[in-house]
Structures are given as structure tokens and as C-alpha cells.
């Protein structure tokens, strides 16, 4: 993932506007937008300030050490850290733990059935795709 995309994710996760981040950094919102689009390289001092306002670390801001990926969940994209991906994979690999997880998260049996149905449909659709981007019947 590119630094700018990750920066935007962190800003939106904190519920901050471009203007609010710009005010904290002492720049205008257009400059913050240019950081997010990758038009401007982020200097070390800016990475430190961004980490402060976004509740992160300079290393995470610069993409050094945290590899984030997009995961398609119910047709919505969200970003997951390696730890989150590991938790999701363990959840999928250990069905005996699902009931406990469901109780903790307040997920009903019906919610789980819907999730599994969507996942099965996506897997079937993926299997129909022969790797060339076209669906084959």
C-alpha cells in the first residue's frame, strides 16, 4: 500500500478532516491532500507530527514495518494489518471458537449464516474465473 493511501486511512480512522490535520501541521489542507496523493514526499519532522495527531508512529506513517492490505468483506473494502489478517484467518480455521467469538461480538447465528453464504458465493465466483479476468461457464 502506498504511504498516501495509508495516511488517508489513518486520518479518516481518527475522524479528522484535511483542514484539521493541516492546522496541526501548520500547513493548508491542500498540502495534506498532496501528502495523501503522493505528490509531496513526507519529511521526517512531518512524519513525527502526523504520528502524533493520528495516534500512530513515524514508522507506520512512512510504511516501514506495517504491511497493510485491502480485504473485500461484503463488497466493502477495508484495510487490515497483519495482526488483523492473522485473527481473521484463525477465526476461519477454528470453527470451534466461532461460538465464543460470536458471543463476545454479539453476532447472531443468522448473521454467521449470511457471512458464510456470501463467502461461499464469492469462492464460487472466484473459481469460475480462469485467471484471465473473464468468467467461464
In a domain, 43, yes or no: yes
Q: Domain boundary at 32, 62, 92, which?
A: 62
Query: Residue 75: which of 27, 119, 11, 129 has the closest Cα?
Result: 119
Query: Residue 6: which of 82, 76, 63, 83 has the closest Cα?
Result: 63
73 and 124 together in one domain? yes
C-alpha cell at 128: 469460475
**Residue-wise pLDDT tens digits, 71-130:** 544 444 556 677 777 777 777 777 777 777 777 877 666 656 666 666 677 677 777 765
Query: Residue 125: which of 135, 115, 133 has the closest Cα?
Result: 135
| Domain span including residue 95 | 69-128
Q: Poorest-confidence range of 32-36, 56-60, 89-93, 107-111?
A: 107-111
pLDDT number for residue 115: 63
User: What values do phi and psi take at 106, rounded to 5?
Assistant: 75, 30
pTM exceeding the 0.75 threshold for the entire prediction: no
87 and 46 together in one domain? no
pLDDT number for residue 74: 45
C-alpha cell at 35: 501528502
In a domain, 29, yes or no: yes
Domains contained in the chain, number: 2
In a domain, 134, yes or no: no
pLDDT number for residue 60: 78
- CB burial of residue 57 (10 Å; 0-12, 13-18, 19+): middle
C-alpha cell at 87: 485473527
Inter-CA distances, 70 with 11, 12, 39, 95, Å: 17, 15, 22, 24
In a domain, 136, yes or no: no
89/45 Cα distance (integer angstroms): 37
Supply the CATH number for residue 34's domain: 1.10.260.40
Query: Residue 49: which of 16, 1, 82, 79 has the closest Cα?
Result: 16
Amino acid at each position: 500500500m502506498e504511504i498516501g493511501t495509508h495516511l488517508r486511512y489513518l486520518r479518516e480512522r481518527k475522524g479528522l478532516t484535511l483542514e484539521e490535520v493541516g492546522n496541526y501541521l501548520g500547513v493548508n489542507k491542500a498540502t495534506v491532500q498532496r501528502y495523501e496523493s503522493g505528490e509531496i514526499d513526507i519529511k521526517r519532522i512531518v512524519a513525527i507530527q502526523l504520528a502524533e495527531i493520528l495516534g500512530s508512529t513515524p514508522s507506520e506513517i512512512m510504511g516501514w514495518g506495517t504491511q497493510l492490505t485491502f480485504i473485500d468483506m461484503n463488497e466493502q473494502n477495508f484495510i487490515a494489518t497483519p495482526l488483523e489478517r492473522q485473527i481473521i484467518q484463525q477465526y476461519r480455521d477454528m470453527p470451534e471458537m466461532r461460538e465464543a467469538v460470536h458471543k463476545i461480538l454479539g453476532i447472531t447465528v443468522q448473521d454467521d449464516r449470511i457471512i458464510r453464504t456470501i463467502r461461499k458465493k464469492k469462492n464460487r465466483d472466484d473459481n469460475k474465473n480462469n485467471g484471465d479476468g473473464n468468467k467461464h461457464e
